[in-house]
Amino acid sequence: MDSHISPVDLPKAYRLINHGPTVLVSACHAGVDNVMAAAWACALDFAPPKLTVVLDKSSKTRELIERSGAFVIQVPTVAQLRLTNTVGTLSLSTEPDKLKKSGVELFGMAGLDLPFVAGCSAWLACKLIPEQHNQQTYDLFIGEVVGAWADERVFSDGRWHFEDADPALRSLHHVAGGHFYAIGEPVSFGD
C-alpha cells in the first residue's frame, strides 16, 4: 500500500469529488475484479456522505456491484491518463485481461473486501443503497461512503492542494472521446 495514503474524515469526504473529476469505479464479486471509468459521478449528501454514479447496463462493473453491494470510487491523476482511458474503453466481457492491459494495480484496505486502484489521489469506499427504480430506469446508483482516503501529497487538512503538488497528481475531467482537461489553478472569492 502506498505510504502517502491518509484517512479522510467522513464529513469531508464529499470534497474529494466536489470539483467534478472523472473517477474510476472498482468492484469485485466471487473472485472477479473490475475497474471502469465514469465521468458521471457526483456527491449527493454530506453526513452520512453519499454519492451517485451512472453505470451502463452493459458494464461488467455494474454487475459486480449489483451482486456484491459495494464499490470504490477513486480519483485518477494526470499520470494515469492512459490507464483511465483504457479502463474506460475496454470491457472485461470481451477482454479478460483488461486490468493487466490497462496497467491497473489493485490493493486492499484492512476490513474491506474491495479492490482499490493504486496510484490514484483519493478513494471512497461505498456501500450500495439499493434503489431498483433508479438503477433500472436511469442506470443511476446511490452509494453511502463508509471510508475515505487521500494521497496526502495533494489532499490534506480536508483540502485539495493541487497548486502546491506535482502536476502529475492533478485530477482529470473528461470532455468526450478520450479528451480530458486537468484541474487548473485556485480562484477564491475575494481574489
The residue ranges that bind its own copies (CB under 8 A) are 12, 15, 18-22, 39-45, 50, 52, 54, 78, 81-82, 85, 133-134, 138-140, 142, 158-160, 162, 170, 172-176, 178-191
Q: What span, in angstroms and rounded, lies between the C-alpha atoms of 49 and 147? A: 10
Q: Which is nearer to its own copies, 47 or 112 (CB)?
A: 47
DSSP one-letter string for 84-108: HHHHTT--TTT-TTHHHHHT--EEE
Residue 86 Cβ vs its own copies, minimum distance, rounded to whole Å? 8
User: Mapping DSSP to helix (H, G, I), strand (E, B) and coil, where does residue 70 land?
Assistant: strand
Residue 101 Cβ vs its own copies, minimum distance, rounded to whole Å? 14
Query: Which residues are within 8 A (CB) of 179 and not within 5 positions of it... i.e. 6 or more apart?
Result: none
Positive or negative, the CA dihedral 106, 78, 90, 29 is: positive
Q: Which is nearer to its own copies, 110 or 176 (CB)?
A: 176
Residue 10 Cβ vs its own copies, minimum distance, rounded to whole Å? 15
Cell of 50: 453519499
Q: Which is nearer to its own copies, 54 or 109 (CB)?
A: 54
Residue 115 Cβ vs its own copies, minimum distance, rounded to whole Å? 23
